[in-house]
Structure 1
Amino acid sequence: MRVRIRHPQGSITLTNLQAEYTIAQLREAIAQAIHITTPQSIRVSGGYPPKGFTDDSATLQACGLRDGDTLNVTLTETTNVPSPAPVAQTTTTTTTLPFDPQTMEAVQMRGGILRVRHDIQVANELRKVIAACIGENPAIYSDVMLGQERGKYMEWIQKSSAWGGAIELSIFSQHFGIEIDSIDVQTGRIDKFGEGAYAERVLILYSGIHYDAVGLAPTIDSPPDFDQTRFPVGDDALLPAAQKLAEILRKKHKYTDVATFTLKCQQCQKGLKGEKDAQAHASATGHTHFVEYE
């Protein structure tokens, strides 16, 4: 089994793993490859949104890992990770484009390049997660909390035109067991979901309409599957870098001004302008299904 490993100092590829290896054995293999003497300080996660693998006795096959997968590695201790030796068989060498802060929508920081990743392929699965959670917890997600009848909300949120918000991010935080930090591109405001409850976090940027993931890429031209998307909450350099990334996008006006954008109510086809107009229309009619249009 060949598995890519994205770690704090770059990336490696392990080529001799077996499906029956346990997570403990995987950590030992990673520790040897990146020259760490304490395998127990290694935290491994994978998938999207990424989940941590915490059961040391579980096999790679039982965890759903397959040949060619990419895993993210973080360290629970402050440890300097030396660059892998160039002669090691598990090391991959990458040529990279020069980083140009004037033209690229990215922030260079220790360990890689922080950038926005647009991934619409997982949207349908995430919508199903929301609907399932709401369906399983009627006492928490009542009609009053949702602003409409639960069944209609569950049906609506699974449509591609639906907008997610605080309710959905709160659900994701609990479902995936991770803090979610959302940064508003237009205002720079940071909203945290699951703050203080989890050891790791993911970052997203809110552009007024859409939420996009933030990933730490080893190089400016590396593919998304090499990204690290799960970070220790104690990483003090990460959030300022993400705010700087939001500032770059704000200066390029890569956001939608919700006070002035135009909408259409899908239920009555009425044209609306701005979030305030949409809220007034929803209060007067009970309609809540809007789409943006030019």
Structure 2
Amino acid sequence: MRLKLKSSNGVSTITLDESTKLFKDFLADIRENIDLHQDISEVVSSIKSGFPPKPIDLTYTVDTKLDEKNIKDGDQLLIEFSTLKRKSISEAPLSPRPLEKKPDLRDDIPATYIESIKKYLILRNIPDDNSCLFNSISYAISGSDSYNNVSPPEELRNVVVNYIEKDPELYSDLILGRPRNEYCEWIKKKESWGGAIELGILADWFNVRIVCIDIESGNFIRFENEKESPGKFIILIYSGIHYDVLGMNSELSLENKSSDVAQWSIEDPHEEDILTASQKLCKQLQSKDYSTNTTTFRVRCLDCYSILVGEMGASKHAEETGHLNFGEVKKS
């Protein structure tokens, strides 16, 4: 079920499972939707649907389902909020949900709070050392420091090479964009960046679904072996030139990474909550210009200091000179 929500402050399109969603949880989600309002002390005072708009009864029991309120797929709902005023116990009306303290968020740590789990979903920055794809996957699978010991990038690069060598039909010169032996030698080098081919191979190797979020487009791209039906999923963030990973923690901190959970069961009852939180975090990163346009961004060759434009410019320079060390030129 897709619904379009409109308030005086903004618009939000959401997707729900109408067969299981409780109306009380639906109201709570609206209240926490920062696209519709910013003040969490406000409560939902009115929901209207149809044309002309008619109010929906906001009273409910614990078991009231969303579809019992005659809300249908494709509906546009008009939402109004009001501030909950403190009253004496004798005159205080029943509110859709008790007031709760808003969890603290910090400007220096990109994160969002998952109310149903009572934990933060946090962007964990991976070192910018040309192995960020491999290190992000290691972080998610084996822990925050695993790429320094448990599964270092050179081992995962060798996994990629073994897959390519075993299946010349699937990983042909055409698919790889160059002769297979050249590609294998290239990807083994620590300066070489991984991409979609490596994501697909490592998803199969670890038997996991890799959900990769492209910040610029907001698209969720999934890599998995559909025949094997993986039981776990991880979430990577792709800025255009760099991969980071999402971790979940009860503490919002840059230090306490060892207690991160960055791998979840596909059958987890909170899977949708985690993906929705990822989408909110993606919007945050978009607003902070976290992505890099790979067509127009400028890079500097760290071998000869030439300034190049876009991924094509860098690739052409690498072919002509053999230089493989690049760094982005930041805007002043």
Task: Please give the range of the TM-score, normalised by the shorter of the 2 chains.
Answer: 0.5 to 0.7
Q: Which residues of 2 match residues 165-184 of structure 1 at below 5 A?
A: 165-184=195-214
**What do the CA deviations read for 1:42-92 (whole angstroms, capped 9, x no partner)?**
xxxxxxxxxxxxxxxxxxxxxxxxxxxxxxxxxxxxxxxxxxxxxxxxxxx
Structure 2 counterpart SS, 1:172: helix
Indicate whether 1:199 and 2:231 are aligned. yes
The Cα of 1:161 is off from its aligned counterpart by 2.5
Residue of structure 2 aligned with 1:138, choices 168, 179, 182:
168
Q: Does 1:240 align with 2:276?
A: yes
Contact 2:213–2:237 under 8 Å retained in 1: yes
| Match for residue 117 of structure 1 among 116, 124, 135 | 124
2:297 to 242, 251, 261: 261
1:142-194 C-alpha deviation (Å, 9 max, x unpaired): 22211112222122212232221111110011000011110011221111111
Q: Distance in 2 between matches of 1:165 and 1:271?
A: 23
Distance in 2, Cα, partners of 1:231 & 1:174: 16
- Pairwise CA distance, 1:269: 8.4
- Provide TM-score, normalisation by structure 1: 0.57
Structure 1 stretches (4+) deviating beyond 6 angstroms?
A: 265-270, 284-288
Alpha-carbon shift at residue 102 of structure 1 (Å): 5.0
1:275 and 2:311 correspond: yes
Offset, 1:263 = 3.6
Matches within 5 A, 1:51-90: none
Counterpart of 2:156? Answer: 126
Q: Secondary structure at the match of 2:272?
A: coil
Identical columns (%): 31
How far is 1:267 from its partner? 10
Tell me how many residue pairs correspond in the alignment.
196
Give the secondary structure class of the aligned counterpart of 2:112.
strand
Q: Any conservation in 1 of the 2:204–2:225 contact (CA below 8 Å)?
A: no
For 2:196, the aligned partner's letter is: A
Q: How does 1:7-26 map to 2 (within 5 A)?
A: none
SS for the counterpart of 2:156 is helix
Q: 2 CA distance for matches of 1:150 and 1:269?
A: 30
2:109 to 84, 104, 109: 104
Deviation at 1:257, TM superposition (A): 2.0
- CA deviation digits over 1:193-252, x for unaligned, max 9? 117532221100001111111111121126222111111224111111111112212211
Relative to 1, partners in 2 of residues 1:269 and 1:129: Cα closer, same or farther, differing over 3 Å? farther
Counterpart residue number, 1:33:
none
Q: Which amino acid aligns with 2:124?
A: R
- CA distance, structure 2, for counterparts of residue 225 and residue 205 of structure 1: 19
Shift of 1:123: 2.9
Change (3 A) 1:288 1:173: farther
CA distance in structure 1 between the aligned counterparts of 2:225 and 2:123, rounded to whole angstroms: 22
Q: Output the CA distance in 1 between the equivalents of 2:171 and 2:302.
A: 24
Please report how far the alpha carbon of residue 106 of structure 1 lies from its aligned counterpart in structure 2 after TM superposition: 0.5
The answer on whether the counterparts of 1:267 and 1:287 sit within 8 Å (CA) in structure 2 is: no
Normalising by the residue count of structure 2, what TM-score does the alignment of the two structures yield? 0.51
Task: Give the corresponding residue for 2:262.
Answer: 229
Partners of 1:155 and 1:111 lie apart in 2 by: 46
Match of 1:291 in 2: 326
Gaps of 5+ in 1: 1-97
More deviation, 199-208/232-241:
232-241
- Structure 1 residues 206, 115: CA separation in 2 closer, same or farther (over 3 Å shift)? same
